[in-house]
Amino acid sequence: MEIIEKDLSLQEKLNILADAAKYDVACTSSGVDRGGKKGSLGNSCAAGICHSFAADGRCVSLLKILQSNECVYDCKYCLNRASNDRVRTTFTPEEVSQLVIEFYRRNYIEGLFLSSGVCKNPTYTMELMYRSIDLLRNHYHFNGYIHVKAIPNAPQELIEKIGYLADRMSINLELPTAEGLHELAPHKTQASILKPMSLVQNRIVEHRLAIGKDPHMERSGSNRYLSGTIFDTAGQDRIRENASYPAVDSFRTPSLYRPDPFVPAGQSTQMIIGATGENDYQLLTTTQKLYQQFDLKRVFFSAYVPLNEDSHLPSLDTAPPLLREHRLYQADWLLRYYGFQAQDLLSNERPNFNILLDPKCDWALRHLELFPVEINRADYATLLKVPGIGTKSAIRIVKARKTGVLTFEALKKIGVVLKRAKYFITCQGKMQYHLRIEEDFITRQLTGEDYKSSWEIDNPQTYQQLSLFDDNQFASAQPIFSDIQKSLHGQL
Amino acid sequence: MIVYTCEDSFEAILTCIYDAWASGLGHRNLKLMVEPVGNLELFCEYRHVDPDSTKVESVIRSIHKKISGYAYQMIFRCAMSCSSEKADIIYRFLLLGFHYGRQITDMVQLPPVLALFELDRAVGNEAHYFREFIRFLNMRGNVLVAHIEPKSDVLTFLAPPFQDRMPSENWMIIDDNRKSAVIHPSDQDFYLTTLTEEEFKRLKTLEDPDDPYIDLWKGFFETIAIKPRENYRCQRSHIPLWYRKHATEFQNPLP
Ligand code: SF4
| Per-residue pLDDT reduced to its tens digit, B163-196 | 999 999 999 999 998 889 999 999 999 999 998 8
| Same domain, residue pair A83 and A194 | yes
Residue finishing a domain among A343, A366, A386: A343
Q: Which of B224, B237, B247 sits opposite A54 (nearest CB)?
A: B224
Asked if residues B152 and B127 have their Cβ atoms less than 8 Å apart, the reply is yes
Number of domains comprising chain A: 2
| Same domain, residue pair A301 and A421 | no
- How far CA A452 is from CA of A52, A456, A463, B235, in Å, comes to 27, 6, 10, 19
Q: Which H or E element spans position B143?
A: strand B143-148
* Cα B192 from Cα B182, distance rounded (Å): 4
* Atom in ligand 1 nearest the alpha carbon of residue A72: 6
Residue A233's pLDDT is what?
A: 58
The set of long-range contacts for A407-410, using a CB threshold of 8 Å and a minimum separation of 24, is A407/B109, A408/A432, A410/B108, A410/B109
Instruction: Note which residues in 287-306 of chain A have CB less than 8 A from chain B.
Output: 303, 305
Residue A467's pLDDT is what?
A: 46
* Cα A52 from Cα A59, distance rounded (Å): 6
Give me the residues of chain A with pLDDT under 70, please.
Answer: 1-6, 233-257, 448-492
**What is the complex's ipTM, to 2 decimals?**
0.91
User: Per the CB < 8 Å rule, is A462 touching B120?
Assistant: no
Asked if residues A490 and A325 have their Cβ atoms less than 8 Å apart, the reply is yes
| Same domain, residue pair A331 and A370 | no
Of A403, A279, A440, give the one whose Cα is nearest residue A348.
A279
| Same domain, residue pair A253 and A366 | no
Which CATH number goes with the domain that contains A39? 3.20.20.70
Residue A451's pLDDT is what?
A: 61
| Same domain, residue pair A247 and A385 | no
Mean pLDDT of B23-39: 87
| Per-residue pLDDT reduced to its tens digit, A71-83 | 999 999 999 999 9
| Same domain, residue pair A277 and A303 | yes
Which chain B residues are closer than 8 Å to A42 by Cβ?
A: 165-166
The residue that leads in pLDDT, A299 or B231, is A299
Q: Is residue A378 part of a domain?
A: yes
* Cα A120 from Cα A114, distance rounded (Å): 17
| Same domain, residue pair A45 and A111 | yes
**Domain hosting residue A426, numbered range:** 354-458
Q: Is residue A320 part of a domain?
A: yes
| Same domain, residue pair A213 and A309 | yes
Q: Which of B133, B219, B233 sits opposite A11 (nearest CB)?
A: B219
Q: Which H or E element spans position B30?
A: strand B30-34
* Cα A2 from Cα A118, distance rounded (Å): 14
* Cα B160 from Cα A108, distance rounded (Å): 18
Residue B253's pLDDT is what?
A: 67
| Per-residue pLDDT reduced to its tens digit, B54-82 | 999 999 999 999 999 999 999 999 999 99
Q: Is residue A196 part of a domain?
A: yes
Asked if residues A166 and A263 have their Cβ atoms less than 8 Å apart, the reply is yes
Residue B36's pLDDT is what?
A: 86
| Same domain, residue pair A380 and A285 | no
Asked if residues A354 and A377 have their Cβ atoms less than 8 Å apart, the reply is no
| Same domain, residue pair A298 and A429 | no
Residue finishing a domain among A316, A343, A370: A343
* Cα A80 from Cα A82, distance rounded (Å): 6
Helix (H, G, I), strand (E, B) or coil at A150: coil
Q: Is residue A216 part of a domain?
A: yes
Q: Is residue A43 part of a domain?
A: yes
From B101's Cα to the closest Cα of chain A, the distance in A is: 12
User: Per the CB < 8 Å rule, is B224 touching A41?
Assistant: no
| Same domain, residue pair A316 and A360 | no
| Same domain, residue pair A402 and A274 | no
Residues in chain B: 255
User: Per the CB < 8 Å rule, is B231 touching A56?
Assistant: yes
Chain A residue closest in CA terms to B163: A36
Q: Is residue A475 part of a domain?
A: no
Q: Is residue A257 part of a domain?
A: yes
Q: Is residue A491 part of a domain?
A: no
Residue B159's pLDDT is what?
A: 95
Residue A454's pLDDT is what?
A: 61
Sign of the alpha-carbon torsion through B71, B77, B79, B85:
negative
- How far CA A29 is from CA of A21, A287, A400, in Å, comes to 16, 21, 33
Does the beta carbon of B223 lie under 8 angstroms from any beta carbon of chain A? yes
Residue finishing a domain among A318, A343, A368: A343
